[in-house]
Amino acid sequence: MVRIVELDKTTVRMKNPDHVRGIISSIKKDGVNKLQVISDFDMTLSRFGWNGRRCPTSHNILDNSQVITEEGKKQLKDLLHYYYPIEIDPNRTLEEKCPLMVEWWTRAHDLLSQQKILKGDIAQIVKESEVMLRDGFNEFFDQLHKNNVPLFIFSAGVGDILEEIIRQANVFHPNINVVSNYMDFDDDGILRGFKRPLIHTYNKNNTVLNNTEYFQQLSTKTSIILLGDSMGDLTMSDGVTNVKNILKIGFLNDKVEEHRGKYLESYDIVLERDETLDVVNGILRYTF
Ligand code: C5P
Ligand code: MG
């Protein structure tokens, strides 16, 4: 019988607890050598809120930084207020959302590229931001590193920013691989655009992974723990060549009541307004 006290937290919801316990014991039985973790970054590894305030996404860190003009800030905020409700609208289909997400990311990236953002400023921009990793992040990153478990961070955020966040937190270990939107700087170190392919909330699948070489190398890692906060994160593991056990854990941060049904159908474990990595750490501790 799987005994993980963290699963008793009031933030935890499961449609089928027996099924969850079955997957966890199967992951443990197959051993740590078979395990890989695939995770989203913004609002999954980073906090959604703190002290009643929203925490920034990797994009917001740039949007709010001192290097953006007041006019630029206003335009970026207008985009956020227009497109974010569309992103999380449970009543719109993926087909409806995808082109609008491409539009949001493209317009935001164009605005950011018109500002004077220097490569050399990134570290300071992150230092001055209000970003926070979820409580328990040290144990999470360190456990995976110590046990040689590959961690794939698949993010529609800004790669340069999220890498800097985990670097400044001293947890950017060699077991980590990141796929995200990376900035394109010119020879003078000024931001000119973003590298392709564009990754948005709803194309986080193998269409944006270069012939999924990463997952091919990990073909023996047949146990997967997937961490996300959006319905779009569920396809992050599509490129995995061999899946035996997969445990999907979803952070439900916003509009909880409205989204609960869908999240419970799609994620094995749903964590409601839980700003910690306690449950994930508890499961990892048990399986190691
Ligand atoms: O890492 P993740 O895939 O979660 O990153 C995407 C998040 O960044 C989305 O949830 C979206 O709300 C946010 N975003 C933003 N500003 C943009 C584009 C996306 O805050 N311009
Ligand atoms: Mg996210």
The whole-model pTM stands at 0.98
For residue 46, the 8-state DSSP code is B
Q: For residue range 172-199, list pLDDT tens digits in order.
A: 999 999 999 999 999 999 999 999 999 9
- Which amino acid type is present at position 6? E
How much is the mean pLDDT over the chain? Answer: 97
Instruction: Give the active site residue among 42, 160, 233, 274.
Output: 42
Q: For residue range 20-64, list pLDDT tens digits in order.
A: 999 999 999 999 999 999 999 999 999 999 999 999 999 999 999
The β-bridge relationship of strands 269-272 and 245-252 is parallel
Distance CA 26, CA 24 (A): 5
Q: Which residues line ligand 1 (CB under 6 A)?
A: 40-43, 57, 59-60, 80, 84, 87, 104-105, 108, 155-157, 201, 230
Look up 188 and say whether it is catalytic: no
Contacts of residue 130, Cβ cutoff 8 Å, sequence gap at least 6: 50, 53, 55, 56
| Cis amide leading into 197 (omega within 30) | yes
The proportion of the chain whose per-residue pLDDT surpasses 70, expressed as a percent, equals 100
Q: Is the pLDDT of residue 212 over 80?
A: no
Ligand nearest to the CA of 59: 1
Three-state secondary-structure class, residue 169? coil
Residue whose CA lies nearest to ligand 1 atom number 8: 157
